[in-house]
Every structure is written in C-alpha cells, then in structure tokens.
Amino acid sequence: MKVKEIKGGQKTLFNFDIGDPFEAPSMDVFKDQFRRLHGRNPSASDISAYYDRHPKELERVPGRTGKR
C-alpha cells in the first residue's frame, strides 16, 4: 500500500523516535510528542491522564499547592 492510498482516518507512524507520549519524563516532552503523534495539542483530559500517571510532575507545576 502506498502512502497516498491511506484514508483520512488511518495514520502511520514513520517517525520512530516518538514513543508513547504518556511515558514522557516531563510535561514539555509529553506535549511535543503528543503534537507530533496526533497533529493537535493535547486536550485537558489528555493532560489530566498524563498527570495521573506522573503525580510527581503535578507537584512541579508553579503555583500549585496541595493535592488534587
């Protein structure tokens, strides 16, 4: 199958340096990998899911006090 034949709903990943964005070590890396993988910015629920997996990153958010 040639790349031109891929329908709009299908995507292939040729850039193998992008891993699972949710395994990224920081929020900046997560956002970058998410954009490159999905072609859009992460939604609030995507960011929340990232923080659920990485609670230590949530503590680093400036101005953030206490737990969720």
Give this prediction's pTM: 0.63
- Give the pLDDT confidence score for residue 58 in this predicted structure: 83
Q: Cβ(12)–Cβ(6) under 8 Å?
A: yes
Q: Is the dihedral of CA 47, 35, 9, 16 positive or negative?
A: negative
Tens place of pLDDT per residue across the chain (68 aa): 444 554 444 455 555 556 788 888 899 999 999 998 889 999 999 999 999 998 888 888 777 665 55
| 3-state SS assignment for residue 22 | helix
